[in-house]
Amino acid sequence: MLLLVALILAAPSNAYRRVAVAHPAPKTIAIDADLGEWNVGMYALSPAINLGGGFIEEGAITNDADHQAEIFVAFGENDLYLAALVADDHVIAESEVWKGDMVELLVERDGASYLHMGVGPKGNVEQFAPVAKKGDATIVAAGQIEARGYVVEARVPYSLLGARPRAGSTLRVNFASRDADPGESPPAHRVWSGYRHNRVVSFGELALQKAPPPPQVDLGRCAVSGPEITIKGPLAANAGRLVAGDKEVLLRIINFQSAQKSWGRFWTDFDLRQIERDLDLARALAANAIRVFPPYAIFAGKPAMIARLRQLIDAAKKRGLLVIPSLFPDRKEFQKERYAAMEAHVAEMGQAFAGESAIAMWDLMNEADHGFGLPDATFTAAEVFAWSRHMAAAMKKADPSHLVTLGLAGYFANRDGAILPEEAMLVGDVLSIHWYFPPERIEHGLARAREAAAGTPLVLQEFGVTSMYEDDASADAIYAKLCSAAEKAKVSGVGAWELFDHPVGTIEYVTPRWTETTESHYGLFRVDGSPKRQAATFCRCLREVPRVVIAPRAP
């Protein structure tokens, strides 16, 4: 037994060595504590190095909210780049970095020495070893304190490493983070590799590698399978079908936002050139419609914003894409005292686009049944139903030319038992449901939706799969299952959520900003524009989807 204990104690600390990966940096990374260029997350510039599971060298860390860190490294022509997201419930920023919180990088230089640097929450940087001398190249850093921690970013010249590393080589490195909470002594110190962050023998390996290319997906079969139809005026509903004149129109819809700019920013930072490029990608998937989300708070009473929607509709029209605007995409407000202001907005939008042939239908609200269906919902189904009927009537009064629908999360369709009118909420001309329930229940759900539609057209307005949970093969299989069920149910349209993945940090309602969520990964295309496997399946979803030619608006 004594011999066994002696052997364990004598085990070299390099038994704890780890391996991390750095990918090539883009030509420029601005050192500004904004990590947009890194595309942090599953499609990161470099995979995350997680100190959450690292060894606690000293002090105490209670939980992940108390302190954890994710670190990213990239390599350029002349510099090594470092970024870190740090969760910290008490951020201590000191002018002398070593006295407060910091993120540390250590890089072996020549087998006998190493670079050791720390970056504080406000971007102040200190070089501990070797001690910086006059004439040395400068480490540039930036930091930003945020709601639940801080972000740092730094650029380290290769001259401080003693050599210029190349792709395919490795660096011996270590990473650490210091958590200087009030009243705690000593401060907690988390280390990535080994028991002591500054023991070169326990450093891990940083492999400088080129990121693997995304899987190749052939979109060559994304061809329109139905006839060409000229749309000369708003669509109509007839005998459970969407029609243009006497011709049935099946819709292949892409829920549409730009990769870098979603929700409100899509409109406030309106970039028509990028939107046109994105619309071309939608058209490349043989889509003939898009669904867009003009937020009430940004559009109500603002003619300039309505003009931007007009620009988008005109750009979509040129590409044979009908448009479904969702008028209240985010705010779930069903109080009667809000009716007048919301009705005025509905009237303003309806009157602005009455008779527009490129609008397929008005969608009154995105997932209105969340108002009563979510665990923290504060309204009753009756209240939401009353609001929906009121706004449908307001839209028909303002614009009798267009069809009206209401986008539903579809709780009623996933349930068993009697279908309650106040839950199915058939208030307009088309029943639209979304499906994020188990794929194996989709046929059951569409059968119930068909029953609730009571002879009106049925549209599977949204479905999708997040790549945070599913790889391309399993996501593609789910798409195929849902498309097959939609075909069998004879729906009038299908809609994918959504065109693009969104870089972590760009979805405005996510807090803290750099939190990775499932919503970042629903795209048919990755951020770089490469298609996922399910894109090729969606472009064949429903047979006989027509190519539409939309007649110009009358002067």
Domain at 11-208, CATH class: mainly beta
pTM, entire model? 0.91
Q: Given this model, what pLDDT does residue 468 score?
A: 93
Q: Given this model, what pLDDT does residue 25 score?
A: 93
Q: Given this model, what pLDDT does residue 71 score?
A: 95
d(CA 433, CA 446): 9
Burial (CB < 10 A; 0-12, 13-18, 19+), residue 28, is exposed
User: pLDDT tens per residue, the chain (555 residues)?
Assistant: 444 333 334 434 444 678 999 999 988 899 999 998 898 776 678 888 998 766 889 999 988 889 999 999 999 999 999 999 999 999 999 999 999 999 999 999 987 899 999 999 999 999 999 988 888 899 999 999 998 999 999 999 999 998 899 999 999 999 999 999 999 999 999 999 988 888 888 899 999 999 888 889 989 888 777 899 999 999 999 999 999 999 999 999 999 999 989 999 999 999 999 999 999 999 999 999 999 999 999 999 999 999 999 999 999 999 999 999 999 998 899 999 999 999 999 999 999 999 999 999 999 999 999 999 999 999 999 999 999 999 999 999 999 999 999 999 999 999 999 999 999 999 999 999 999 999 999 999 999 999 999 999 999 999 999 999 999 999 999 999 999 999 999 999 999 999 999 999 999 889 888 888 999 999 999 988 899 999 999 999 998 899 999 988 665
- Of the candidates 500, 506, 467, which has an alpha carbon nearest to the alpha carbon of residue 37? 506
d(CA 71, CA 192): 10
Q: Is 254 in contact with 522 (CB distance < 8 Å)?
A: no
Q: Is 83 in contact with 35 (CB distance < 8 Å)?
A: yes
DSSP code per residue over 16-84: G--EEEEEEPPS----SS-GGGGT-STT-SS--EE-TTSEEEES---STTTEEEEEEEEE-SSEEEEEE
- Of the candidates 167, 176, 169, which has an alpha carbon nearest to the alpha carbon of residue 202? 176
DSSP secondary structure letter of residue 223? -
CA 328 to chain centre: 20
**H helices, E strands: number in the chain:** 13, 26
Q: Given this model, what pLDDT does residue 13 score?
A: 42
- Bridge partner residues of 174 (DSSP): 106
d(CA 116, CA 97): 13
Q: Are strands 247-248 and 251-255 parallel, antiparallel or unpaired?
A: unpaired
* pLDDT (tens digit per residue) in 370-406: 999 999 999 999 999 999 999 999 999 999 999 999 9
d(CA 486, CA 541): 8
Q: What residue spans define the domains of the chain?
A: 11-208, 228-550
Q: What CATH code is assigned to 228-550?
A: 3.20.20.80
